[in-house]
Amino acid sequence: MDYTKQRNKMVEHQIKARGINDERLLDAFRKVERHLFIPGNPDQFAYADGPLSIGEGQTISQPYIVALMLDMLNIKPEDIVLEIGTGSGYQTAIIAEIAREVYSVERISSLAKNAKELLDKLGYSNIKIQQDDGTTGWKPENESEKDITFDAIVVSAAAPYVPEGLLAQLKDGGRLVLPCGNRYVQDLICVKKENGKIIKENFGGCQFVPLIGEQGWKK
Ligand code: SAH
C-alpha cells in the first residue's frame, strides 16, 4: 500500500478541492500518517472521505472536517492550542505540526493512553495530553499553567452550548471552533473573543459524537 500517494490524493481531492488552500495546513495533512491512528490499521479505509470507528463508540473525524475546523482557527506557528476530544490523536498530530504547543483533553482513559503512547512514539515533544472532562478547560498541572489561556481552542465533540470554562481559557483575540446543537445534528460555530466581546459565526451543518461532561451533555 502506497500511503504517501494516498495521503497526497486525500489532500488534493478531499481538502484542496473543497477550497482549503493554506499550504502549511495542507503540508501537515501530507505528512501525518493517518493509517497509524486507526485501530486494526484498515488499509483500504485509512484515507477514505469519511469518519471511522476508533473503538469505545468514538470516531476519528473525516479528514476534510479536521481541515475545515483548523482552517477556521487560522493557527500560527507561535500559537498555543487547546483541543477537547483527543480521540485517536490524529488531529492532535496535525495541530502539533502547525502550532507551537498543543494541550489536549480526552475523557476516555484508554483513548487518552493510546493516543499519548502513539504521539510519543512518533516523537512529538510539543503535545500534552490530559485524561479528564475537557468541558471546563485545561486543569493546570503546575504553577506555570495556573492562569493558562489559549490562542485557539478546537472541540471535536458536539456541545449543547458553548462551555463557559472554555471561553474563560480563550485569549483575547483568540478563536474557538466547536460543533453546537442537539445530540444528532449540529452547526459548526466559530467564536471570536475581541476586546472581551464574544462574536459567533455559523458555518453550517455537521455531525459529531456528544461532548459529555459538566458543561456538556450529561451521559
Ligand atoms: N479529533 C479526534 C476525534 C475524536 S471523537 C480524532 O482525530 O480522532 C471525539 C472525542 O471527544 C471522543 O474521543 C470522546 O471520548 C471525546 N470527548 C467527549 N466528551 C469529552 C469531554 N467532556 N472531554 C474530553 N473529551 C471528550
The domain limits of the chain are 55-206
Model confidence over 169-187: pLDDT tens digits?
A: 999 999 999 999 999 999 9
Average pLDDT, integer, range 116-128? 98
Average pLDDT, integer, range 200-217? 96
Which CATH architecture fits 55-206?
3-Layer(aba) Sandwich (3.40)
The response to whether residue 85 sits with its C-beta less than 6 Å from ligand 1 reads yes
The Å distance, Cα 156 to ligand 1 centre, comes to 6
From 92, 108, 207, give the residue whose CB has the most ligand 1 atoms within 8 Å, as the site to mutate: 108
Model confidence over 50-93: pLDDT tens digits?
A: 999 999 999 999 999 999 999 999 999 999 999 999 999 999 99
Q: Is 100 exposed, middle or buried (0-12, 13-18, 19+ CB in 10 A)?
A: middle
Predicted confidence at residue 106, as pLDDT, reads 98
The response to whether residue 179 sits with its C-beta less than 6 Å from ligand 1 reads no
Does the annotation count 61 as an active-site position? Answer: yes
Kindly tell me if the per-residue pLDDT of 31 is higher than 70.
yes
**pTM of the full structure:** 0.97
Rounded distance, CA 55 to CA 43, Å? Answer: 17
